[in-house]
Structure 1
Amino acid sequence: MDSLRGDREFRKVRSHGVAVRDPLFTLRLTEYRPRYGEQWRPRAIIGIVVSKKTLKRAVDRNRARRRVREALRTLPGGLPPCRAILLPNPAVLSVDFLALQSALIRALERAPGRVKKGSGGNSGGRAPVPVAVTAAAPTPETP
């Protein structure tokens, strides 16, 4: 699992991502695309954002971040290849660790088909563009 880097990556996920809400967090997901000039290596790239408005004390913000990061790291079955922003709520600090992991699994399952593990799926939840198939006329063989 890698972290989102830079304002540009966060803006792309915010503008193109699909939000999945849970009582413990909000997860915004988009499909995986490599960074500019990077090889195709499908993996989860996640940014964990805890604002001062959500949790006032830095100790609590850091604890929430560490707890969520560990829950993501130890998910059974791993993470699907995607880019995501996870915004934890204050309840993340008081909930049982296994309950946090199960909530993350449920959120990933509720995400559109393009983000689920093992799915090549369509992008953006949009309908796939139909491809016109034209039958080519048989070409005469030359001796």
Structure 2
Amino acid sequence: MAVQLLLLVALKVAHVWPFNRTLGEVDQTFARRYRLTKTDEFSSVFGFRKAIRGKLLMLHYQPRPAGNDEARLGVVVAKKLLKRAVDRNRVKRVVRDQFRRRRAALPAYDLIVRLAAKPLPLDAGMLASEFVALLGKLPRLRPKQEE
């Protein structure tokens, strides 16, 4: 029993978890390639100046360059709106989870979600539903016509 447990821990630590993607399982991780990480990436999306506003959230978006077909996400929650780190982290966690679940169906955009108003009380369900509604309002990209 102890040997099996050690083997299980060793597989998890080595990131060689036996996961079969050929059975139609969808990768729902929030890997680094699905995140906006650099300041320049955030600046270019904000500089594109396209946004959709909801009651609590604001969704900034920019189409990704040709050859990139996956959506990426960045989340900004100002300390001015939510003083407690616990609350800021909860907003980020809810938004990232909804993105992770819907990422495969999203068009190739760089997205930044920003808290636009102070939510009182902080309701995860309301944040999640508003984020999903904003994703539904994203314009669909048209494929380039070859001449």
Please say whether Structure 1 and Structure 2 have the same fold, judged by a TM-score greater than 0.5: yes
> Which one has the bigger helix percentage?
2
Q: Is the CA contact 1:75–1:101 (under 8 Å) kept in the aligned structure 2?
A: no
16, 37, 52: which one pairs with 2:48? 16
Q: Mind listing any 5+ residue stretches in structure 1 that lack a counterpart? A: 35-39, 123-132, 134-143
**Structure 1 residue ranges (4+ consecutive) displaced by more than 6 angstroms after TM superposition:** none
Identity among equivalent pairs (%): 29
Structure number with larger C-alpha Rg: 1
Q: Size of the alignment, in residue pairs? A: 112
Instruction: Tell me the residue number matched to 1:141.
Output: none
124, 132, 136: which one pairs with 1:105? 132
Deviations 1:10-65 (A, max 9, x none): 1100011411000120000110126xxxxx24111110011111111111111111
Q: CA deviation at 1:66?
A: 0.6
In structure 1, what is the Cα distance between the partners aligned to 2:77 and 2:46? 15
120, 124, 139: which one pairs with 2:142? 120
Deviations 1:48-106 (A, max 9, x none): 01111111111111111111111222239732220011013442973352x44442232
Q: Mind listing any 5+ residue stretches in structure 2 that lack a counterpart? A: 1-29
In structure 1, what is the Cα distance between the partners aligned to 2:106 and 2:127? 15
In the alignment, is residue 54 of structure 1 matched against residue 76 of structure 2?
A: no
Please provide the CA RMSD for this pair: 2.7
In structure 1, what is the Cα distance between the partners aligned to 2:92 and 2:120? 9
In the alignment, is residue 5 of structure 1 matched against residue 33 of structure 2?
A: no
In structure 1, what is the Cα distance between the partners aligned to 2:56 and 2:113? 10
Q: 1:48 to 1:96 in 2, by over 3 A?
A: closer
In structure 1, what is the Cα distance between the partners aligned to 2:121 and 2:108? 27
Instruction: Tell me the residue number matched to 1:84.
Output: 111
Instruction: Tell me the residue number matched to 2:20.
Output: none
In structure 1, what is the Cα distance between the partners aligned to 2:133 and 2:86? 28
In structure 2, what is the Cα distance between the partners aligned to 1:67 and 1:92? 16
